[in-house]
Amino acid sequence: MAILDVSGLKVHFPIKGGIFNRTIGHIKAVDDVSFSIEQGKTYGLVGESGSGKSTTGRAIVGLENITAGKILFEGEDITSRESKTKDMRKDIQMIFQDPYSSLNPRKRVRDIIAEPLRNYEKLTKNEEKQRVYELLELVGLNPESIWKFPHQFSGGQRQRIGVARAIALKPKLIIADEPVSALDVSVQAQVLNFMQDIQKELDLTYLFISHDLGVVEHMCDEIAIMYRGRYVEQGTREDIFENPQHIYTKRLIAAIPDINPRNRDAQYAFRQEVKREYENSFDDYFDAEGLAYNLQNISATHRVALPERG
């Protein structure tokens, strides 16, 4: 059974205006998104800024109000605010994008990591310290770090403190919102390797949100591409990278810089070709408002937003 099952999720933000500040319209940040994630897998959510990928993640943790739709976590409905019980919040944790601003600069590492423990578990001072030591060891940080402040660490180390905090309560699902976007490649490698290690160790499930297709290809089992709040394509890693069907997906893949300089001209030509195709066939793939159509199944795992046939 899927650990997380999202169906018809909508998050709409009102636009206020006029003299009485009435609602004059809605921004459909997330519009009818459905997916499910199996236990122990990594599900990638890709899109450009403003596509609604972060809002989707935040809605699942409960940081955004949901307009419509249903979220099932381990079979339990957690859609409404009231139903997000303390226990459920313990099982879903989040890793934030920016390791420089997501840690309180005035707290010591010990207090940062112990905060979730203090909220949920009644531990003695010593037990708590012991747990923090264990967590630090798990994320590969020095035991002395416990007394340091966030500014005394490098970006990669800070991100690992964020990870330690996220796994403190042994969650089942981690929502990682652009966890490596702010990091150098070498540090990025460190964090990605580490996320894979703890996934195996703790049987974690990830919802991995990123705009970097290279990283997503490396990390994810299943991938969904979002555009303006809607899914344009969803499938396994192979479906998306080897057999992309939607022109928007093709365009994203074509835009990834090629690490081999010999392919430069070919890549440039390919990109121009995809761009032309994108411009010429835009109407075939998007409706009158420029939004993606509903998803159609093209294989057991692969779904693409195409106009209905016939």
Partner 1 sequence: MSRKLLEIENLTTSFQIGDEYYAAVDDVSLTVNRNEVLGIVGESGSGKSALAFSIMRLHNRAKIEGKIKLEGIDLAKASTSDLNKLRGDKLSMIFQDPLTALNPLMEIGAQINETLILHRPKMSKQERYDRVIELLDLVGITGPEYVYQQYPHELSGGMRQRVIIAIAIANKPQLLIADEPTTALDVTIQAQILDLIRELRDEMDAGIILITHDLGVVAEMADRVAVMYAGQIVEIADVHTLFENPLHPYTRSLLNSVPTEGQDRLHVIQGIVPGLQHLPRTGCRFAARIPWIDESVHEENPLLHEVTPGHFVRCTCHSYFYFPEKGKEEITHGDT
What does residue 11 show for φ and ψ, rounded to 5 degrees? -125, 110
Segment near partner 1 (CB under 8 A); pick from 55-63, 77-85, 167-175, 207-215: 207-215
Question: Smaller CB distance to partner 1: residue 214 or 290?
Answer: 214
By CB under 8 A, residue 243 contacts partner 1: no
Question: Smaller CB distance to partner 1: residue 114 or 223?
Answer: 223
Segment near partner 1 (CB under 8 A); pick from 3-11, 58-66, 210-218, 302-310: 210-218
Question: Smaller CB distance to partner 1: residue 100 or 119?
Answer: 100
* Range 254-273, binding partner 1 (CB under 8 A): 254-262, 264, 267-268, 271
Question: Smaller CB distance to partner 1: residue 2 or 192?
Answer: 192
Which x/- pattern, by CB under 8 A, does the window 178-197 give for partner 1?
Answer: ------xxxxxxx-xx----
Segment near partner 1 (CB under 8 A); pick from 33-41, 90-98, 109-117, 248-256: 248-256
Segment near partner 1 (CB under 8 A); pick from 6-14, 19-27, 86-94, 208-216: 208-216
Question: Smaller CB distance to partner 1: residue 126 or 260?
Answer: 260
Contact 174, 180 (CB under 8 A): no
Total residues interacting with partner 1, rule: CB under 8 A: 38
Smallest separation, CB 185 to partner 1 (Å) = 5
Which x/- pattern, by CB under 8 A, does the window 108-147 give for partner 1?
Answer: ----------------------------------------
Contact 35, 43 (CB under 8 A): yes
By CB under 8 A, residue 40 contacts partner 1: no
Which of 34, 98, 155, 221 contacts partner 1 by CB under 8 A? 155
Token pair of 186 as six digits: 């070498």
Largest CA distance in the chain: 69
Question: Smaller CB distance to partner 1: residue 268 or 282?
Answer: 268
Smallest separation, CB 93 to partner 1 (Å) = 24
CA distance from start to end of the chain: 35
Which x/- pattern, by CB under 8 A, does the window 217-236 give for partner 1?
Answer: xx------------------
Smallest separation, CB 190 to partner 1 (Å) = 5
Angle among Cα 246, 247, 249 to the nearest 5 degrees reads: 70
DSSP string of the chain? Answer: -EEEEEEEEEEEEEEEETTTTEEEEEEEEEEEEEEEEETT-EEEEE--TTSSHHHHHHHHHTSS--SEEEEEETTEE--STTT--HHHHHHEEEE-S-TTTSS-TTS-HHHHHHHHHHHH----HHHHHHHHHHHHHHTT--GGGGG--GGGS-HHHHHHHHHHHHHTT--SEEEEESTTTTS-HHHHHHHHHHHHHHHHHHT-EEEEEES-HHHHHHH-SEEEEEETTEEEEEEEHHHHHHS--SHHHHHHHHTSPPS-GGGHHHHHHHHHHHHHHHHHTHHHHB-TTS-B--EEESSSS-EEE-PPP-
Which residue type is seen at 65? Answer: N
Smallest separation, CB 254 to partner 1 (Å) = 8
Residues that bind partner 1 (CB under 8 A): 48-50, 154-157, 184-190, 192-193, 211-215, 217-218, 251-252, 254-262, 264, 267-268, 271
